[in-house]
Chain A
Amino acid sequence: MTAGSKKQEKPKVAFFDFASCEGCQLTVVDSLQTHLDLLDAVEIVNFREAATLNGWDFDIAFVEGSITRPHDEERLRRIREQAKVLVALGACADTGCVNALKNLLPPEEVRRYVYGEHADWYETYGARPLSAVVKVDAVIPGCPIDREEFVEVVKALLVGKRPPIPDYPVCVECKLKGNVCIFHVGGICMGPVARAGCGAICPTYGDGCEGCRGIIPHPNENAMKEVLDEAGLSVDDMMHYFRMFNAYREVGVGQWE
C-alpha cells in the first residue's frame, strides 16, 4: 500500500454497457449516497447513463451487460485495448445472467416468437459473458451488484490488490446474519452452492437465493441435488433453479452459434 505524502494521479474510470438492465450502473450511482468521496478517488471520463462524457482515455473500464450480437464484440475489444484493467460489472457481464436463458431454447423459434416473419432482420447470437470474448481482469458478481462490494472493489483497485470476491457460499453470510434457514420453513434456496457477497439479502428477506452471483468454484452438486430432492423438487424443477441465473454455465450458447 502506498502511504503518506506521495500524491498519486487519480485513475481515469469509464463505464460501458451491453445487453443489460443498467441496474448495476444505477447501483454505482447509488453508491454515491454513502460514498460521495468516490468522486475524489477516481476521475470519471465516460458514463453514458449518468453523464454527457465520452472520453476514451481511461485506465479502468467497468463493463455491464452480456455480449449478444457479433458486432458487440468489436466495441468490447476496443474497450479492452484501451483499459489497463477491465472489470465485469454485474451478472450479465460476469456470467451471462438471465440473458443466457434464451441459449436454452432453439434460436429459430425464439427469434420467430418475438419478431415473427421478420426474424432474420435482427442481429443476435447466443448470450455470453465478457470473458467469452476478451480477457477480464476482475468481476463484481450479482444481479444487481452489491453497492458496498463495488466500493470495496474500487478500493482494492486503488491499492493494486485483487478485489476481495468471496468463493464461499451464501449460507455463510446467511448464518452470520442469524437467519432462519429457508429450507426449514419449506422454501427452496441455492444458498449452499451460490457465491456469497450479497449479505444473503434474499434469504434475509424471506425468499430463497436464486444464485444470481454465480455458483461457487467447487460446489458439491450431488449433495445439493439431494437437498433439493428432499425438498420435493423434480429434476425439471432443479434444472430451473440451477439455470435461472446460470444458464451459460450449464449450456454455454447452446444451439446458438
Chain B
Amino acid sequence: MTTLNVNVHYVTRVEGHGNIVVDIKHGEVKECRFEVVEAPRFFEAFVRGRPYHDINHIVSRICGICSVGHSTASTRATEKALNVELSEQAWLLRKLNFHGEILDSHVLHTYYLVAPDFFGVPSVIPLVETHREVVERALRLKKLAGDLCAMISGRHTHPCALVVGGFTHTPTERELRAMRERLVAARADMDATVDLFASLPWPQFERETEYVSLRKDDEYAFIDGVIVSSDGFTYPIEDYRKVTNEYLVPFSTAKWTKHNRESYMVGALARFNNNYDQLHPKAKEAAARFGMKPIVTNPFLNTAAQVVEMVHSLEDSIRIIDELLSRGVREEKPAPVKVQAGEGVGACEVPRGVLFHHYVYDEKGICVEANCIIPTNQNLANLNADIRALVPQILDRPQEEVRLLLEMLVRAYDPCISCSTHFLRVEFV
C-alpha cells in the first residue's frame, strides 16, 4: 500500500489531548506527526508574584497523575534557592512518597492504558467481565500505591503535606508497619504483573536513540543527582539548559528539545538504560523475563521498563520502611525557612522522565522567575522521529493495524500532555 491516511483525533488512553496525522500519497510522505492540541494554562507566568510556600501547591496542579513529582521537583528547587536542608527522615519519606507515585502512575499506564491494546478491547472496563482477576489485581496495586502516598502526604493527587522543608505530617510507626505488610503481600501481585506483561507480544521496532536521565552514585535516581546521557555526557542539574536546548520549530508553536542528536528520549526506558546497574536484583530478574538488558532501543518496551521499575519501587519501599522503623520515627515539622533571595533548580525522574523546575525568589521570598521543563515535551521530538521511522516499515499493513500500532507507540511514551502544555502549547504542522 502506498497511500495511507491515518487521522486519529484525540488519541485515547493518554493524559491530555493529542492527534496523530499520517498522510502518505503514492509512497510519498506528506504528513506524519503527533500533534498536541491541549489548552495552554500559563503556570510559569502566574506563579510569579506569589510567595515561596504557595508555589509547590500551585504547580502540583499541572498534572493530576504526577503531582507528587511536580511537588517534589518544585520543593527541591525552592529548598535549594532558600538553602533549606531536609532532615534524614524527611528525605526517606520523600523517597518513599516518590515510589508511591512511580507505582501509581506505572500501574495506571501499564494496566489501564496499555494492556487493553493487547486484549483487543477499548478500555479496561470489558476486562471486568473477561479477565476479572487482572482488573482486580490492577485495582489492588493502584490502591496500594495511592494509600502509600496518602499515608505520607495525605493523598496521591495534589499531596497536602509535602511542603518546602519536608512534610507537615508524619506517618506513625504503626501505619508504616501496616503498610510494610501490605507491600510484602503485594509481591505476589507484582510477580503476576511481570508474568502478564512478559507474555505479551511486544511490537518489534528498533531505533538508535540518545537516552537522558538523572543518575546518582548510591541509588537508582529519582530525586536529585546529575544529568547523564547514554551518549556519554554528564551535567550538574543546574546546567539543565545545556541538555534541553529548547528550540523553535518553523511553523510550530512548540519548543522542542535536543541534545547530542536530533532528539532524545527520557522516561523509564532511559532510566533503565542509564542506571540498570542500580536496579534492585528482583527488578533485574523481571527485566530478564522481558529479555531486556541495556541498551534497549525499542520504544515500545518503555512500558516493560515501567514494569521493571514497579518491582524496584516495591522492593525499595519495603527497604525504606525498614530503615525508618529501625531509626525510629519521630513527629517532625518541616525544616524552618529563612526567607531570602535565591535561585534554585530541582530535578526529579517523574514517571515519564526527567522534570526540571527552576525558580528565582526575591528577598521577600516572592517568586520572580519560573521555568519548568516537562518530560513529555522532551520526548515529543523523539516520538515524532520514531513515528517517521516506523511508518515506512509498516506501510504494507492494513490501515487499521497501522493506526493501532501508531497509537500504541504514542501510548508507549506515556505522554502526559496536560503537563507538556501547561507551559507551552505544542503543535506540529
A237 and B61 form a contact (CB under 8 A): no
Q: What are the residues of chain B within 8 A of A26 when measuring CB–CB?
A: 64-65, 108, 157
B160 and A22 form a contact (CB under 8 A): no
B142 and A102 form a contact (CB under 8 A): no
Tell me the smallest distance from the CB of B327 to a CB of chain A, in Å. 21
Q: Which of A51-75 contact B (CB under 8 A)?
A: 51-54, 65, 68-69, 72
Tell me the smallest distance from the CB of A189 to a CB of chain B, in Å. 12
> B46 at interface (Cβ–Cβ under 8 A)?
yes
Q: How many residues of A contact B (CB 8 A)?
A: 60
A30 and B142 form a contact (CB under 8 A): yes
Segment of A79-87, A110-118, A154-162 in the binding face: A110-118
> B63 at interface (Cβ–Cβ under 8 A)?
yes
Chain B's closest residue to A92 (CB) is B61
CA distance A222 to B146 in the complex (A): 39
B41 and A29 form a contact (CB under 8 A): no
**Per-residue B-contact encoding for A115-138, CB less than 8 Å = 1, 0 else:** 100100110100100000000000
Tell me the smallest distance from the CB of A48 to a CB of chain B, in Å. 5
> A143 at interface (Cβ–Cβ under 8 A)?
yes
CA distance A118 to B155 in the complex (A): 39
Task: Name the one of A48, A102, A115, A202 contacting B160, with C-beta atoms under 8 angstroms.
Answer: A202
> A23 at interface (Cβ–Cβ under 8 A)?
yes
CA distance A167 to B146 in the complex (A): 28
> B346 at interface (Cβ–Cβ under 8 A)?
no
CA distance A21 to B67 in the complex (A): 9
Q: What are the residues of chain B within 8 A of A110 when measuring CB–CB?
A: 42, 45-46
Q: Which of A220-246 contact B (CB under 8 A)?
A: 237, 240, 244
Q: How many residues of B contact A (CB 8 A)?
A: 64
Q: What are the residues of chain A within 8 A of B13 when measuring CB–CB?
A: 48-52
> A97 at interface (Cβ–Cβ under 8 A)?
yes
Q: What are the residues of chain B within 8 A of A21 when measuring CB–CB?
A: 61-64, 67, 418, 422
Q: Which of B154-183 contact A (CB under 8 A)?
A: 154-158, 160-161, 163, 167-169
Q: What are the residues of chain A within 8 A of B43 when measuring CB–CB?
A: 98
Chain B's closest residue to A145 (CB) is B157
Q: What are the residues of chain A within 8 A of B153 when measuring CB–CB?
A: 205
Tell me the smallest distance from the CB of B70 to a CB of chain A, in Å. 9
Specify which of B43, B67, B135, B160 lies most central, judged by the most chain A CB atoms within 10 Å of its CB: B160
B65 and A22 form a contact (CB under 8 A): yes
Q: What are the residues of chain A within 8 A of B424 when measuring CB–CB?
A: 114-115
Task: Name the one of A48, A205, A244 contacting B168, with C-beta atoms under 8 angstroms.
Answer: A205
Q: What are the residues of chain A within 8 A of B161 when measuring CB–CB?
A: 205-207
Q: What are the residues of chain A within 8 A of B47 when measuring CB–CB?
A: 101
Segment of B123-131, B273-281, B299-307 in the binding face: B123-131
CA distance A113 to B64 in the complex (A): 25
Chain A's closest residue to B128 (CB) is A39
A29 and B108 in contact (CB under 8 A), knowing A48-B12, A114-B424? yes
> A20 at interface (Cβ–Cβ under 8 A)?
yes
Question: What are 12 contact pairs spanning A and B, CB under 8 A?
Answer: A21-B61, A21-B63, A21-B418, A30-B143, A30-B156, A52-B122, A68-B40, A69-B39, A101-B58, A206-B169, A207-B168, A237-B51
A interface residues with partner B (beta carbon < 8 Å): 18-27, 29-30, 32-34, 36, 39, 44, 47-54, 65, 68-69, 72, 97-99, 101-102, 104-105, 109-111, 113-115, 118, 121-122, 124, 127, 143-144, 201-202, 204-207, 210, 237, 240, 244
B interface residues with partner A (beta carbon < 8 Å): 10, 12-17, 38-51, 54, 57-58, 61-65, 67, 108, 112-113, 116, 122-125, 128, 135, 139-140, 142-143, 146, 153-158, 160-161, 163, 167-169, 248, 253, 418, 422-425
- A sample of 13 more A-B contacts (CB under 8 A), given A21-B62, A30-B142, is A22-B16, A30-B143, A33-B142, A39-B128, A48-B12, A49-B15, A50-B123, A54-B12, A102-B46, A104-B46, A121-B253, A124-B42, A240-B50
